[in-house]
């Protein structure tokens, strides 16, 4: 499923019932960027933020991140927060409490000098990896292998795959399945199958 498919097939990607409504203007904005190769996220977001006001833009983007249930959409909205100015920082701080984007929020705050370098712990790092790989798996499972390689050398990749089953993220099963099927390293593919088996066993 492409990001476009995800956004059009699931136009109101809310979380739990009653948790709120996804801001429609944010969905339209992100869909325009995804569908139009000439549309740059930064330019589109800055123009929109000037129209609605930076505070409103930050609040709506944060609400979208909190309610979206698909990793690619969630990550695109999170990236957009970078371009709304100072209010984006407060919104990112709020997103530290989000179960999936929390590590990204922490990393953003570290990068911008709001938190010390050691604020991102090992479990946060693994969750961030799971979120990134889940976004890739949702678009094209073949991308997961390339994404996994960005985590480090072969040993580090084995370590990540071996631990992913412990991460409380709904996309982990798809990630491990993709690695088990597509990774050219047979040992790593086997590790992914073993981790996937542990995940399924732990969920009954």
Per residue in 89-135, pLDDT (tens digit) is: 889 898 888 777 788 788 888 888 888 988 888 888 898 888 889 88
Angle at 120 between CA 117 and CA 123, to 5 degrees: 155
Same domain for 173 and 112 = no
The predicted model gives 37-63 an average pLDDT of 91
The pLDDT value given to residue 203: 82
Long-range contacts of 36-42 (CB under 8 A, 24+ apart): 41/76, 41/79, 41/80, 41/83, 42/82, 42/83
Higher pLDDT residue, 27 or 191? 191
Total domains present in the chain: 2
Same domain for 104 and 16 = yes
pTM for this predicted structure: 0.67
The pLDDT value given to residue 135: 82
Ordered DSSP codes for 130-151: HHHHHHHHHH-TTHHHHHHHTT
Host domain of residue 108 = 3-119
Same domain for 146 and 79 = no
58-84 burial: b if 16+ Cβ within 10 Å, else e:
bbbbbbbbbbbebbbbbbbbbbbbbbb
Same domain for 103 and 21 = yes
In the chain, the largest separation of any two C-alpha atoms, in whole Å, equals 53
């Amino acid at each position: 499923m492409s990001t476009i498919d995800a956004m059009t097939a699931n136009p109101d990607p809310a979380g739990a019932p009653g948790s709120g409504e996804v801001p429609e203007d944010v969905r339209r904005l992100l869909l325009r960027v995804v569908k139009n190769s000439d549309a740059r996220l930064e330019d589109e977001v800055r123009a929109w933020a000037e129209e609605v006001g930076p505070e409103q833009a930050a609040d709506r983007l944060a609400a979208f991140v909190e309610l979206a249930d698909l990793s690619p959409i969630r990550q695109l909205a999170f990236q957009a927060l970078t371009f709304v100015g100072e209010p984006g920082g407060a919104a990112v701080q709020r997103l530290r409490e989000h179960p999936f984007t929390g590590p990204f929020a922490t990393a953003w705050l570290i990068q911008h000098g709001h938190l010390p370098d050691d604020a991102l712990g090992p479990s946060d790092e693994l969750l961030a990896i799971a979120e990134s790989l889940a976004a890739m798996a949702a678009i094209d499972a073949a991308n997961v292998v390339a994404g996994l390689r960005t985590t480090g050398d072969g040993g580090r990749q084995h370590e990540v795959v071996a631990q992913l089953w412990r991460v409380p993220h709904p996309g982990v099963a798809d990630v491990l399945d993709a690695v088990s099927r597509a990774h050219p390293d047979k040992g790593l593919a086997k590790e992914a199958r073993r981790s996937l088996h542990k995940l399924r066993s732990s969920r009954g």
